[in-house]
Amino acid sequence: MGKIKKKSKASSNGHGPRNGSGPGNGHVERDHVGRAVPRADMGKADVGTAALGRSVERSSTGSPNPNLRTYEIPDYRLEHPQFTVRQLTEKDKSGQEHVHYEVTGDLDAPVPPIRDSKYLDKQQSIEIYRYMLLNRRMEIALENLYKQGKVVGGVYFGLGQEACSCASAYALDKDDWFAPMIRNQGSLLVRGFGASDTMMQYMAKADSPTKGRDGTSHFGDIEKRNMVSPISMLGDLIPVMSGVALGARLQGRNIAVMTYIGDGGQSTGVTYEGINFAAVQNLGLVLFVESNLWAYSTPSEMQYRCKDLAERAIGYGIPGVIVDGTDACQVYDAAHEAIERAHAGKGPTLIEAKMMRMKGHAIHDAASYVPKPMFDFWKKRDPLARFESYLVKDKKWLTPKENEALIAEVENVIEAEREIAVNSPMPTPESAEGGVYCENGCHEIKPKYGTPKVKKGTGACKETEADVHLK
């Protein structure tokens, strides 16, 4: 099991280093039931589902105050980066002020190993690695198509976040639902979409999922793949997915519904409303907070005050957990346990995945505001390179020759998918009027899991004072 951060009622005021400081005073190593564990024994502790449960206990610090409660946030990471980003203002010769950022801290720390998964076997690990390869190669192809002038609009990348997108979606069962955001294109591949679907979508081709009516990732599939379309208004997917879980419950099923939000997007009011609704209704929401350090050009130090966003789970009364978002095994294990909780009817889980957005907000953004040493630090923690080394060198589940063959196979798949996208026709002008209105027979809304149970009324309702007043 990883480190468990023990948090008292007196919370951090945000002045410590960001993206996960190492445990200091006030932090106690504990196992999943709250027992103190010596540091040397932490690697032997259990990482079971109970670790995701919220622990509320009387203070174990010897405080005479009987009303002091402590909370625990499991932290499965094998490193806790120690650096801080500061905003600096300088004047040029003409007196014009210019803002830039500076990063300080231990930027030469060694790269940690991949944590062994409690659940993944050899074949599953290789499958996740292949999806991560497909994700990376697809986005490289998209960037080249953009530079060739074949993309309509912009392109959004998930470089550095492939482990989070692919391993999280891989943990879902067939009947579970998901709703990706713009950087989770790998999750679409895991759930059965082809790379050509995403390419054609960005190229606004007639064969794209939206038939050329949208040039970004606004498409879904509620019939076969249980995917809700991304919503540009950040945070809005959270109450929508909570509603999906509620709808399934009314049909007699407890399902997991997974979606994502960034460290910037989680600041929206609808994020709070959606999580709170899921918490109160005990719905199976699995929310990944992709803490990638930058909300467009705003560093996390200027976005929120708490040190770890997983701490916000305490306020919602739900389990929260921290993982290394560049470690596919950590991401999968946390997702798997949260999904199991959802299936058991135990409610939502908030998972903070810490990592780095390795490109700008979109292809038009060069991310010149990000200090170069920060990029260098996270480049060494490339999720794809780390997982490749883990499978080839550490576990020896792939020989170098088998790995080369797998990479070649993925490149051939992406090239074939690119050809499909390039050769797809543009939509005809007259096709623009189709699909605007919900015409007869365009789609039928029906229960997916069963007919909701409703109570029969006892007859006419009595008129209340409020009814009379409203008249």
Dist. CA 175–CA 360, nearest whole Å: 34
Angle at 184 between CA 182 and CA 190, to 5 degrees: 140
Q: 261 is written with which tokens? A: 């939000």
Dist. CA 414–CA 135, nearest whole Å: 10
Burial 106-138 (b: 16+ CB within 10 A, else e): ebeeeeeebbebeebeeeebbebbbbbbbbbbb
Say which of 119, 272, 369, 449 is annotated catalytic: 369
Using alpha carbons, select from 383, 230, 362, 351 the residue that is nearest to residue 294.
Answer: 362
Q: Is 357 a catalytic residue?
A: yes
Using alpha carbons, select from 232, 183, 166 the residue that is nearest to residue 357.
Answer: 183
C-beta neighbour count of 365 within 10 angstroms: 14
Dist. CA 311–CA 242, nearest whole Å: 21
Question: Which residue has 């899921």 as its token pair?
Answer: 278
Using alpha carbons, select from 43, 16, 58 the residue that is nearest to residue 301.
Answer: 16
Amino acid identity of 265? G
Amino acid identity of 436? V
* 153 conformational bin, left if phi > 0, alpha if psi -120 to 50, beta if neither: left
Helix (H, G, I), strand (E, B) or coil at 137: helix
Annotate 286-317 with DSSP letters as a single string. Answer: EEEEEE-SEETTEEGGGT-SSS-GGGHHHHHT
C-beta neighbour count of 319 within 10 angstroms: 27
Say which of 32, 361, 381, 418 is annotated catalytic: 361
Q: Is 361 a catalytic residue?
A: yes
Q: 69 is written with which tokens? A: 């409660």
Query: What are φ and ψ of residue 306, in 5° steps?
Result: -70, 155
Say which of 183, 357, 386, 418 is annotated catalytic: 357
Is 73:312 a contact under the CB 8 Å cutoff?
A: no
Query: Which residues are part of the catalytic machinery?
Result: 357, 361, 369
